Amino acid sequence: MLDFYFKDIVSWIKSDKRKSTWTTIYKHWEENGSREYLFCVLFPEKLIDEFVEHASWSLNITNLRPDYAHYSEKDPEYYRWGIESEYEPIIYQQFYNNIFPTKFEIVEEFLQFFNLYFDNKNNSYISVDITSEQNEVVKIVRHKDNIEIKVKTHFLRQFLFAKKLVLGFQMDYFRESDRTLSEQNLNESMLFDEFAQLYNFNICFKDYSSMDRCNSDSRLLAKAILVGYESHNIQTDYERLNSGTCEDFIVDVNNENGDFIYESCNKSEFEETKYGYYTSIFFKREVLLKYYNSPNTYTIEDGSLYMKGSWRLYLDNNNYEFVSAYLGDLKMLPHFEQLYWKSFNIEPQSEVDKRRFNIDFLSSYYDPEIEDLKFKNEYIRVNKLFLKKFGFNLFSEFDENDVHCFKTLRLPLKNEAAELDVLILNLCKVLIDYLNVKSINTFLTSEQKELRSIEKLEIFLEINNLKNFEKIIAFYKTLQKLRSTGSAHRKNSDYKKFLLSLGFENSDEKGIFKALLKDAINILKNISTQLEY
């Protein structure tokens, strides 16, 4: 049974609203004998006493839109919100006489102030700051004809501080009951109310036992206030980007006692110190997992990690055991990213290898040695050569929802079956599912077009006189069987027997996928080499 005394709402009205993570700024919700209407307005602090003086609403959302105010004694005058008042909305309504759906919008000033992007999938607004970090600021909840709009309180209070305004809540809530008032020891003359500096509410009751509807209801009419921050550290984008703390990282080991020696990443390329800008800092390879798991935001390439629209960290990821970056380069990471990298920081492993030295200081280029980077290079290379030779790519362009399958292909970061399954599925997708069957079909007879993609590839390679095509097809069939017996289906004895037949009986997950990538690289190289001549 619904609480006729609105204890939950009254508790919130009396609470310190600054402590809430989310603040509802608009609500129109009718469900299961309850009706909740909430509408917020903005106004100067000097009007707080006037606003909370009575519980009835000061303004309704339907009254606020750019329009003329009409007077009997003078000419109509245009106002931004159609009224001559210091009150203004944070949510406004666009009503189309029920010909089109009514819209509820957040004022553009708020959206622009935080540079908010509307996410259609989640029905929310996302902020994107100077470092490309994302934060959900507004949530819009819909159910049938009901709507509730919530704003993250921290952002809302920043806006109030900037505007030098306060937020006023106006509430009109109803709760129905099948019981009469007398059955609840209540009557229509009873009134519960309370008035304080920052809120005002009253609860009254109505009996409908003589009507064809619920037997009774209670009504809460209320107002409350949320204030902005008293002060706020106002910074430009440049100041926010460059005012962060610079973390210390391990640069050496004390030969006397074995303690780690730390140095701040706040370095200049022109500063001459023992541990300068180009001191190599080392990290466990698992540091990259976070970025592989968000391929729409981050791109990991040979020698760099890039966050879309923001920073790029140059690194050496051409090693099986660790990744490294220069001490001074770590400064360009936002502070929370520095803290993340610091949690994977390990002691120095070796001097800068020859390949990295030549790339960074001699402007020379050497192909990567680690399998995942080599595979991606060969994949792109064979596509270019195929296009030059046959007029089409061997592998079709990735669908935007599948790009991650290629971007996240890597040597496993952990020896876990789950990670191996995902990597095998992705390898199968980029090598098998993205075979350019449509173009290959142009070389085949009508009967051959009914075959499966690997069989079509076999015929195509044979009629175009590519050598060792049997080995290529054998690898494709191996990959397909790994997917069908293990990664894509329930594992059984057939999967284990197949791994044994491939010589993986003594291999861990890292070793298995490393071997598969080596075979894939050799297959792609085989094709590329033949196409070059």
- Amino acid of residue 392: F
Positive or negative CA dihedral for 353, 358, 359, 365?
Answer: negative
116 shares its domain with 210: yes
Q: Per the confidence metrics, is the pTM higher than 0.85?
A: no
Helix (H) or strand (E) holding 376: helix 371-390
Query: Which residue among 328, 362, 396 closes a domain?
Result: 362
Looking up tokens 């290629």 gives 406
Contact in structure between 501 and 493 (CB atoms under 8 Å)? no
Query: Which residue among 315, 330, 362 closes a domain?
Result: 362
pLDDT tens across the length of the chain (533 residues): 678 999 999 999 999 999 999 999 999 999 988 999 999 999 999 999 999 999 998 888 777 888 888 888 888 889 888 888 889 999 998 888 889 988 899 999 999 999 999 999 999 999 988 778 889 999 999 999 999 999 999 999 999 999 999 999 999 999 999 888 988 899 999 999 999 999 999 999 999 877 777 889 999 999 999 999 998 888 776 666 666 689 999 999 998 888 999 999 999 888 888 899 999 999 999 999 999 999 989 999 999 999 988 899 999 998 888 999 999 999 989 889 999 999 999 999 875 566 666 666 555 566 778 899 999 999 999 999 999 999 999 999 999 999 999 999 999 998 888 898 899 999 999 999 999 999 999 999 999 999 999 999 999 999 998 888 899 999 999 888 888 877 655 666 667 777 777 777 778 888 888 999 999 999 999 999 988 87
Two structure tokens written together for 325: 């970056």
Left if phi > 0, otherwise alpha if psi is -120 to 50, otherwise beta: which for 363? left
Query: Which residue among 343, 362, 381 closes a domain?
Result: 362
Positive or negative CA dihedral for 480, 486, 490, 492?
Answer: positive
Chain-centroid distance of CA 109 in Å reads 24
Positive or negative CA dihedral for 108, 111, 117, 118?
Answer: negative
What is the structure's pLDDT at 235?
75
196 shares its domain with 317: no
SS (HEC) of 497-522: HHHHHCCCCCCCHHHHHHHHHHHHHH
18 shares its domain with 135: yes
Contact in structure between 40 and 168 (CB atoms under 8 Å)? yes
Which residues constitute the domain of residue 147?
Answer: 7-227
261 shares its domain with 120: no
Tell me the C-alpha distance between 198 and 178, whole Å.
34
Two structure tokens written together for 448: 């051959």
Looking up tokens 């990735």 gives 398
H runs (alpha helix) in 63-203: 108-113, 153-163
Query: Residue 353: inside a domain, yes or no?
Result: yes
150 shares its domain with 130: yes
Q: Which of 441, 431, 434, 459 is nearest to 520 (CA)?
A: 431
Helix (H, G, I), strand (E, B) or coil at 292: helix
Q: Which of 302, 304, 295, 483 is nearest to 402 (CA)?
A: 295
Query: Which residues partner with 299 through β-bridges?
Result: 306
Query: Residue 85: inside a domain, yes or no?
Result: yes
Tell me the C-alpha distance between 333 and 228, whole Å.
31
User: What's the number of domains the chain is made of?
Assistant: 3
Which DSSP category does 447 fall into? T
Query: Residue 510: inside a domain, yes or no?
Result: yes
67 shares its domain with 93: yes
Query: Residue 318: inside a domain, yes or no?
Result: yes
Cβ count within 10 A of residue 22: 14
Tell me the C-alpha distance between 68 and 56, whole Å.
25
Which DSSP category does 184 fall into? G
41 shares its domain with 187: yes
Contact in structure between 124 and 116 (CB atoms under 8 Å)? no
384 shares its domain with 491: yes
What is the structure's pLDDT at 242?
67
257 shares its domain with 217: no
Tell me the C-alpha distance between 484 and 158, whole Å.
54
Helix (H, G, I), strand (E, B) or coil at 524: helix
Query: Residue 253: inside a domain, yes or no?
Result: yes
Query: Residue 238: inside a domain, yes or no?
Result: no
249 shares its domain with 392: no
Query: Residue 390: inside a domain, yes or no?
Result: yes
Two structure tokens written together for 61: 């959302």
280 shares its domain with 167: no
Q: Where are the beta strands (DSSP E) in 383-527?
A: none
